Structure 1
Amino acid sequence: MEQPNLSYIHSMSGGNKDFEQKLIGIIKQEFPLEKQEYIDNITAKNYKLAANNVHKLKHKISILGLEKSYEVAVNYEDNLIDHKTDGQDDFETILQIMTDFLKTL
């Protein structure tokens, strides 16, 4: 499984460390809330709402340089829209990898 990185954030910032820290801070603040909302919706089998949560989380997956994981999320979002949970385990593994990575920042 690929690992998160800050390459995209560094490329966006143009070397501006304050910008990088601000963006990382926003991600660290929003990600746990969005992850929990997803967990609540998937547990309640609210697949449409869970698909919306995955849609939001996809952007953070992309920002953290997880290109293959982004594709997993796209497919999982489509499955949820069709009330199917194919890809759930892979997506939740990605969320855990992101959680662990953000704790190191």
Structure 2
Amino acid sequence: MEQPNLTYIENLAGKDEAFKNKFIAILKDEFPIEKAEYYQSLNASKTKETALIVHKLKHKLNILGLEKAYGLSVIYEEELKKGNSSLASEFTSILDTIESYLNTI
């Protein structure tokens, strides 16, 4: 399974440690909120609303170097727009991986 990393953020920040730390802090602040919104929407079977949240979350996947997960989220977002949430368990696994990672950095 693919693991999150800080390569993108480190490349973006260069030697600016303050910028890097601020970027990570924003991720740590936003991710739990967006994850909670995702579950609320998914559990309420609001697939179009869930697709919008997946759209926001998928950018964080890209930032954290999760290329395969990003690709899955693109497909999942489109499926949700059609009312299909069959990829929910796979996406949940990705979210859990990110949450665990963010708790370690």
Structure 1 counterpart of 2:25: 25
- Give the share of equivalent positions with the same residue, in percent: 45
Cα distance in 2 between the residues matched to 1:86 and 1:78: 12
Which amino acid counterpart does residue 48 of structure 2 have in structure 1? K
Is 1:13 the counterpart of 2:9 in the alignment?
Answer: no
Structure 2: 5+ residue stretches without partners: none
Structure 2 counterpart of 1:79: 79
Deviation, structure 1 residue 24:
0.2
Structure 1: 5+ residue stretches without partners: none
SS at match of 1:4: coil
TM, length-normalised to structure 1: 0.98
User: Runs in 1 of length 4+ with deviation above 4 angstroms?
Assistant: none
TM, length-normalised to structure 2: 0.98
| 1:43-94 Cα deviation digits (max 9, x unpaired) | 0000010000000000111110100000010000000000001211111100
SS at match of 2:85: coil
SS at match of 1:24: helix
Equivalenced residues, count? 105
Question: Cα RMSD over matched residues?
Answer: 0.6
Which amino acid counterpart does residue 28 of structure 1 have in structure 2? K
Structure 2 counterpart of 1:47: 47
